[in-house]
Structure 1
């Protein structure tokens, strides 16, 4: 009899073991080889064992025998994907991005035109839709670069949407680019961290978000010594968007001289950067989030994802959906 989602949910909620069996297992763990066909044993939120035939395994046979069996033959069983940068509140605007021809048009149509009209409930709907469609696509971890925090209620709505979907979510909070807002950011992040960092049994965490330079929206939301100190005092990491071209390259070298280019930073896009900037990034141990689809859609610099540049300085880049 085929296992249903209702069966799976009931087993998960009761901590009954669940045995995924027969699929090609990709472990992403150098100590555990991939299997052409194998088993993965789950209990609650934990992976208990991986093996070729766990029902005959002395250590896990009893649990496997009592488990709900899910036939995964013909499928690939592996860890969920990680989306390292998505503006989740924009999810209900899908299909609109092909109507813009470059970054300037996106900024004006979405960030200047639509974003100021968002209410907290719109933030909730967009963020929850983004998280649900991420899960449906095999993405189990998503960083929400939430750059429409017009009020504390907007931020709370976005965070509650992550909690309500059950995704492993990182809320990276930034003030809006344009329009009226409460100017509560970044100070309100003290409360966000207190109320939400580690929520949903540790699945939801909080980060600071900023832009690389003041070109797009002015200095208030551009990364620099003040925001670096704020994030450090708060004990959170920082995601920095719109990192591209010569101005961002110069900013990266400036951060390095100031001592605020470090492993707590994730730099997003990273297209068209100079070799000197890449060297500084590698030396500092930053992480990088590439956005191949949006870079091509709106023509950021060369629009070629900087995979080779990152690997050359010892950075293994992440991938992101963006918008």
Structure 2
């Protein structure tokens, strides 16, 4: 795909949200980029021979960081809007349609997810790759990220319910230099903790989906006692955990990501709200999108859900007369969870997540004159509550524009649509699914062999 590259770019006269507490925010300021890095932030900047982007009437901020999404689901977007249980999702998607994925399907799905992320202002993703049926499937996913120009860490996992010979060794084969735009990590849950050493040998992050799903004895104390928990661990969901579990995660320095929409969709959390639980134990949780088979794949929806769920959780307790109630969340904390906290979870806090000079130039510009926002008042509130993907006018990853004037750069959508339709026909025929535009309930499919 074609990239638009300039030696220097100057965002001029925008409202700048740096997400860097030492620099602060600016009602009107500029952001200067040279090559792939931010070199200055502040009012009245100038630069010779720079591409000047008029940011007046816009918010300039770091790109959203999405630390948990299954990119291979891009071909199956919106397929199950009414699904109620995790088992129904598994039966239809990983165990049935997903088993028929070819490497070219993995490529297309990951490309679609990547482009959707960029369009919505997401510049980085941690990809939970649990449909790596063969090494060729993993190669295809990495190729898709490279093509799209999205910053990504592809976490190689075994397909759900399967054992494959190439895992976990793929992490060693595919590891790239530390400063690569696209890199690799290991997707291995706590039952597979013995495999975490494979990732640690190459300095790769480790992703685990974790929750007290069935009320069994938690393995965290044993894992911590054995020295197996650390800052390279990323635990997603973290539902139905005890105070003891949370204390162990905090003591070990484990990173936590939560998925407000998915956890509600499947009823994974029944009493509390993992985002709030993490905050109360001194952790800084990040927001992940998880799946887009049932909901939109953008950070705006996730921020909406996180804000409302936290407010519902604490205000209900307040209304019940409790005297020791957590404070209602404010929009800045939610925006941090969608940017700098996600960067930290991915091990990239020193490179992305804020508009800090010296960091990579992952920058987005959001219009404030659109009908969903105008008249504009509170900049952080606009981003968290009011904006949507159509308001994202410019997206830059490592100094290269991926979206310009509201359009993805160098993307042949006609060709992608044609290839996607062919791939969907193949997958649906292979799994025995006949799609219907007015479908109320997803049919039960026979699991693939």
Aligned pair partner of 2:166 in 153, 164, 184: 184
Q: Are residues 317 and 43 of structure 1, via their aligned partners in 2, closer, same or farther at CA, if it must alter by over 3 Å?
A: same
Please name the residue that 1:259 is paired with: 227
SS in structure 2 opposite 1:32?
Answer: coil
Q: 1:52 offset after TM fit, Å? A: 1.1
Higher relative contact order structure (alpha carbons within 8 Å, sequence separation ≥ 6): 2
SS in structure 1 opposite 2:62?
Answer: coil
**Superposition misfits of 4+ residues, deviation over 4 angstroms:** 246-249
Please name the residue that 1:39 is paired with: 30
Check whether the contact 2:172–2:198 (CA below 8 A) recurs between aligned residues. no
Q: 1:31 offset after TM fit, Å? A: 2.3
Please name the residue that 1:301 is paired with: 269
Q: How does 1:2-81 map to 2 (within 5 A)?
A: 10=4, 12=5, 14-15=6-7, 17-55=8-46, 63=47, 65-81=48-64
Partner Cα distance (1:312, 1:183) in 2: 41
SS in structure 2 opposite 1:250?
Answer: coil
Gaps of 5+ in 1: 1-5, 56-62, 213-221
TM-score, normalised to structure 2's length?
0.61
SS in structure 2 opposite 1:98?
Answer: coil
Q: Are residues 77 and 98 of structure 1, via their aligned partners in 2, closer, same or farther at CA, if it must alter by over 3 Å?
A: same
Aligned pair partner of 1:268 in 216, 223, 236: 236
Q: Are residues 83 and 183 of structure 1, via their aligned partners in 2, closer, same or farther at CA, if it must alter by over 3 Å?
A: same
Higher helix proportion (structure 1 or 2): 1
Check whether the contact 1:295–1:303 (CA below 8 A) recurs between aligned residues. no
1:89 aligned onto 2:72: yes
Check whether the contact 1:248–1:273 (CA below 8 A) recurs between aligned residues. no
Check whether the contact 2:158–2:164 (CA below 8 A) recurs between aligned residues. no
Partner Cα distance (1:245, 1:182) in 2: 25
Partner Cα distance (2:264, 2:80) in 1: 12
Q: 1:256 offset after TM fit, Å? A: 1.4
| Cα deviation digits, residues 81-140 of structure 1 (max 9, x gap) | 110110000011111231311111111111111110000011111111111111111111
Partner Cα distance (2:185, 2:196) in 1: 12
Q: 1:276 offset after TM fit, Å? A: 0.5
Check whether the contact 1:98–1:297 (CA below 8 A) recurs between aligned residues. no
| Cα deviation digits, residues 211-267 of structure 1 (max 9, x gap) | 34xxxxxxxxx332x212222223322010143446576022221122212111000
Please name the residue that 1:125 is paired with: 108
Gaps of 5+ in 2: 292-449
TM-score, normalised to structure 1's length?
0.84
